Amino acid sequence: MISLKIFLIEDDPFFGEALKYHLKLNPDFDIHLFKTGKECISNLYLKPDIICLDFGLPDITGDKLLKKIQETNNKIPIIIISGQEEIEVAVDFLKSGAKDYIIKNEHTKDILWNSIIKIRENLQLVNEVADLKEQLEQKFSFEKTIIGQSDAIKNVFNKIHKSINSNINVSITGETGTGKEVVAKAIHYNSERKNKPFIAINMAAIPKDLMESDFFGHEAGAFTGANTRNIGKFEQANGGTIFLDEIAELDLNLQSKLLRVLQEREVVRLGGTTKIKFDARLIIATHKDLAQEVKNGTFREDLYYRIIGLPIELPPLRERGNDTLLLAKYFIDLFTKGNKMKPITVSKKAKDKLLKYPFPGNIRELKAVIDLACVMCENNEILPDDLTFNSIHNTDFFLSVEKTLKEYTAEIILHYLKKNRNDVLKTAKKLDIGKSTIYNLIQSSENAK
């Protein structure tokens, strides 16, 4: 339990010393006894945790002293000790912010003791909540959560910074395992909505016939088996953030209903008629190309423009260079700490092996590889043989599909053009080819569409 600094203001020397002696029986109580209100005010710089003050002091009444203390610090719990038994007086003090009102009699010291114990328990809970909030903020501080120093990840940081300063919708794209939900949480827990709910829905994990009820809720009797009212995810997210993961998997019929909900900012539960307003920030994520899904006719164009907002594209791990090693160290530290192991290092050859592997499963795959390596390694050092790649993907990309040399060349050029954000000059320099080759390829691709 926490220690307490307690101010005791009592002008009766005998009564004051008796209370002080009794309270000091608890070694966690640091008691400061004062005889006047002036002494109390002049010592507030000592930052007491609790103040116990007599109603009738020689220089100031208890109600005036209460106000003066609150003007300096209105968070200090104050207990009034008084010889007056009028209920109206006690009620007035409690309305003014006093935590307790205790009558002077033979039971005062015991009642005061219990009152202080209760206040200490409340202060303990307040401190624990504050600690948890601080831990939560640190956990989702994206500079700490999203590990990396590459230009690609710095661009992501820049987009996150822009997103947390507004309520604009955010669309996060990237391959599976690149950390889309981590980014969504980083945006929420660093925004003004951080103390409100973060509600995540994975479209791919919910049966289509249950999606509408899960999204918007239902009233009792809305359908067979609906015995009670269900509050939907959008209502639950009110004031906070709703994260729709794998949005491309959303059924076309439900897409139209989602569009209406986003336009009107209100939901109607299944089986109900009441329109329920909600205020939730929308963040969506997908590993698919939503624009292409629109062209394919599997995603509504009007919904696409409604949700796209600020786009954040997460780079695959193979394009992040030395970030792979930074992430590997982070996962090693996480694993060793969680399993109470000694620190583990990575040999030079093992680092080279990590950098050469393309990690088609991205960060998720890297964590699995590192966790296994921490278990398999000897002498607290990860060697190349400790790194086992069990990817279900074919990592021999150029051997996976039979193509012509021209097709392979085009694929390589388009890959680097996308990586360089359509910077033709940078791509030409990287591949040591002429700009005209790239322009001709782009023209051919456009004509083929």
**Distance of alpha carbon 408 from alpha carbon 402, whole angstroms:** 9
Q: Tell me the mean pLDDT in the region 321-335.
A: 94
- The residue with tokens 């329920």 is 276
Which residues are CB-contacts of 300 (< 8 A; sequence separation ≥ 6)?
252, 255, 256, 259, 294
In a domain? residue 60 = yes
User: How much is the mean pLDDT over the chain?
Assistant: 88
* pLDDT surpassing 60 at residue 46: yes
| Average pLDDT score over residue span 165-187 | 92
- Select, from the ranges 95-99, 240-244, 432-436, the one with the highest average predicted confidence (pLDDT): 240-244
Domain membership of residue 61 (yes or no) is yes
Q: Read off the pLDDT of each residue in 74-93 and give the average, rounded to a whole number.
A: 87
Do residues 287 and 146 make contact, with C-beta atoms less than 8 angstroms apart? Answer: no
pLDDT in tens, 226-251: 788 889 999 999 999 999 999 999 98
CATH of the domain at 181: 3.40.50.300
Q: Which range, of 5-9, 144-148, 400-404, averages the lowest pLDDT?
A: 400-404
pLDDT beyond 80 at 144: no
CA atoms within 13 A on the CB side of 99: 22
Does residue 431 fall inside a structural domain?
yes
Residue 375 CA to residue 256 CA, distance in Å, equals: 50
Q: CA 235 to CA 107: how far, in whole Å? A: 51
Query: What is the arithmetic mean of pLDDT over 150-177?
Result: 92
Do 181 and 238 sit in the same domain of this protein?
yes
The CATH number of the domain holding residue 378 is 1.10.8.60
Same domain, 49 and 121: yes
Question: What Å distances lie between residue 389 and 309, 327, 394, 401, CA to CA?
Answer: 37, 16, 11, 21
For the segment 408-430, the average pLDDT, to the nearest whole number, is 83
Give yes or no: residues 166 and 127 share one domain.
Answer: no
What confidence score (pLDDT) does residue 399 get?
A: 44
pLDDT of residue 200: 94
Produce one character per residue of 129-146: b if its CB has 16 or more CB atoms within 10 Å, e if not: eeeeeeeeeeebebeebb
Same domain, 112 and 92: yes
pLDDT-based confidence at 371, cuts 50/70/90? very high
Indicate the pLDDT class of residue 349, thresholds 50, 70 and 90: very high
Classify residue 300: in a domain, yes or no. yes
CATH number assigned to the domain comprising residue 71: 3.40.50.2300
Residue 89's pLDDT band (cuts 50, 70, 90): confident
Per DSSP, 46 falls in state G
What's the pLDDT at 257?
A: 92
Measured CA to CA, the distance from residue 412 to residue 431 in angstroms comes to: 9
pLDDT higher than threshold 80 for residue 405? no
Q: Mark which of 263, 298, 313 sits at the end of a domain.
A: 313
Q: Return the C-alpha torsion angle 219, 242, 282, 260, nearest 10.
A: -10
Q: Give the rounded percent of residues in the chain with a pLDDT score beyond 70.
A: 93
Q: Do the strands 266-267 and 276-277 form a parallel or antiparallel pair, or are they unpaired?
A: antiparallel
pLDDT of res. 347: 96
- Quick check: 398 pLDDT over 50? no
Position 434 in a domain: yes
Considering the domain architecture, whether residues 380 and 250 belong to the same structural domain is answered as no
What is residue 241's predicted lDDT score, i.e. its pLDDT?
95
pTM: 0.60
Task: Give how many domains the chain has, as a whole number.
Answer: 4
Domain range spanning residue 253?
Answer: 151-313
Q: Say yes or no: 294 and 157 in one domain.
A: yes
Q: For residue 311, what pLDDT is reported?
A: 96
One domain, residues 350 and 419: no
Mean pLDDT for the stretch of residues 283-297: 94
In a domain, 394, yes or no: no
Q: What is the pLDDT of residue 408?
A: 74
Higher pLDDT, 403 or 52: 52
Greatest mean pLDDT among 65-74, 98-107, 297-306, 435-444? 297-306
